[in-house]
Amino acid sequence: MRRTATAPAKINLFLHVGAADADGYHPLASLVAFADIGDRVSVQPAERLSLEVEGPFAPTLAGDNDNLILRALRCLGQATGKGPPALKVVLDKQLPIAAGLGGGSSDAGAALRLAAQVLGLAADDPALETAAAVVGADGPMCLHARPAWAEGRGDWLTIEPRLPDLPIVLVNPGVPSPTGPVYRAYDAGPVRSADRPAPPDDWSPHGVAAWLSRQRNDLEAPALSLAPAIGEALAAVAASQGVLLTRMSGSGATVFGLYADDAAARAAGEALAAHRPEWWVRACRLQGAQANVQLSGDNPA
């Protein structure tokens, strides 16, 4: 039986970053949410572990023999003591690469959830957490794909049950923003603190946007210094009708705008896509705490 799931885009609604520790890791505080769009991952039994990549952004991953999906599944095999799982994985790459959307980690999280279904592992099997951690600090949050406060290196998670669905537009100007160079640029400038703010009193879209306006993304300025096109995208979203808040996600280059309702987000997305057709623009929703990760079963293959 083939199983399929969305690997949702991950959005950092704010991102406070501290100075690197002795091991070179930066402490952070963030409120993370997941969109209702993303890559698609399919998993089915096979003779050996393999990965095929298709979709509009597949060429950028050509020749990647250490894809995070494969790394996570190999670790899952080690953690269960059964060796690499005999699975065929197909990744439909719909999200831009190096975009601040957690794509690779979310792909790995979806693959692990699906592998658990195919292999008959319990959803809370500790081997899944072990395998998720191997892909990076955001691996565990992408395994669960639910709104959460992330602290420490990003792996101290507290589920946030009050976050509602939020209408949003995602815009990527078509330039990569690799995490490593952005963090190095951040280290070269004024370093802030990884402070976690008190949560908002009002969890409506307007209330969340007003609260977020008092927070920040500490990687935005260094990312802008390396990729000025991010600034163009920020300005365009900020000028869109009905936008409540504009910010860059993660280390960029994707920026987002929050809107009061789906109609406003759709209208803004259409206007932005018409204005800059070369950009990647998607109107969607950030899924609140009540949303469940969607898994679907296909016909046996």
Taking only the tens place, the pLDDT of each residue in 243-261 is 999 999 999 999 999 999 9
Catalytic site positions: 10, 138
Residue 301 has pLDDT above 50, yes or no: no
pLDDT of residue 57: 94
Per-residue pLDDT of 143-170, as tens digits, reads 999 999 999 998 899 999 999 999 999 9
* Cα atoms found within 13 Å of the Cα of residue 229, Cβ hemisphere only: 16
* Mean pLDDT of all residues in 271-283: 98
- Which DSSP string corresponds to 188-230? TS-----PPPPPPS--SHHHHHHHHTTS-BTTHHHHHHH-THH
In this prediction the pTM is 0.93
pLDDT at 300 over 50: no
Residues 57, 93 contacting (CB under 8 angstroms): yes
Rg (alpha carbons) of the chain, rounded to whole number:
19
* pLDDT above 50 for 299: no
Per-residue pLDDT for 293 more than 70? no
Q: pLDDT per residue over 262-276, tens digit each?
A: 999 999 999 999 999
* Mean pLDDT, all residues of the chain: 94
Question: Please, which residues have CB within 8 angstroms of residue 263's CB and are 6 or more apart in sequence?
Answer: none
